Structure 1
């Protein structure tokens, strides 16, 4: 299993809109090989979003990024982001719900 963790900073006042874009198309993710997709708002910073993803494989994750609806959401969110993004890939070892 392939895991991906990211944080992103939005421009002030845009966090909720970006969260809506990130969570708007989650219904079809399971069919694409996603087993966990979690979007969270930072409890300590009003402009930070955390995203945790678990996929059957890296290839499943990469394929999801080429879907038109995903590309459209990314394009819409991009102007509301500062560019301050961190990310990490990991191999899933286990856990509750996995």
Structure 2
């Protein structure tokens, strides 16, 4: 079993703010490019929920994930998206084992 950790995160914006939430999360994703241990951080939209945004994350290990999540919200870019949320994010924890895109 890999030491990698992953998650799917579903966020729902206040009505009409789905595009702004996605744009804000793309800025967060840019910051994650340089985060140690971040192997994947993809922002996703679904055609049937205009205000929902999903983030797919894969981290090299739990410590890398924890370090990124424990950043100052402003530093991570998350502070700007919080006012757009209609409620708390939903998390599905994963244990990635491999496949295309993961070395």
**1:23 is the counterpart of 2:26:** yes
**1:42 is the counterpart of 2:46:** yes
Query: 3-state DSSP class of the match of 2:50?
Result: coil
User: C-alpha distance in 2, partners of 1:78/1:28?
Assistant: 16
Give me the CA root mean square deviation. Answer: 1.6
Check whether the contact 2:19–2:51 (CA below 8 A) recurs between aligned residues.
no
**1:13 is the counterpart of 2:7:** no
Structure 1 gap ranges (5+): none
Aligned residues: 96
Return the TM-score normalized by structure 1: 0.85
Please name the residue that 2:81 is paired with.
Answer: 77
Check whether the contact 2:45–2:54 (CA below 8 A) recurs between aligned residues.
yes
User: C-alpha distance in 2, partners of 1:28/1:75?
Assistant: 13
Return the TM-score normalized by structure 2: 0.81
- Structure 1 segments of 4 or more deviating over 6 A? none
**How has the CA–CA distance of structure 1 residues 49 and 28 changed in structure 2, closer, same or farther, with 3 Å as cutoff?**
closer
1:11-59 CA distance string (max 9 Å, x none): 1121121112211143453442111111111111111101100000121
User: C-alpha distance in 2, partners of 1:17/1:89?
Assistant: 25
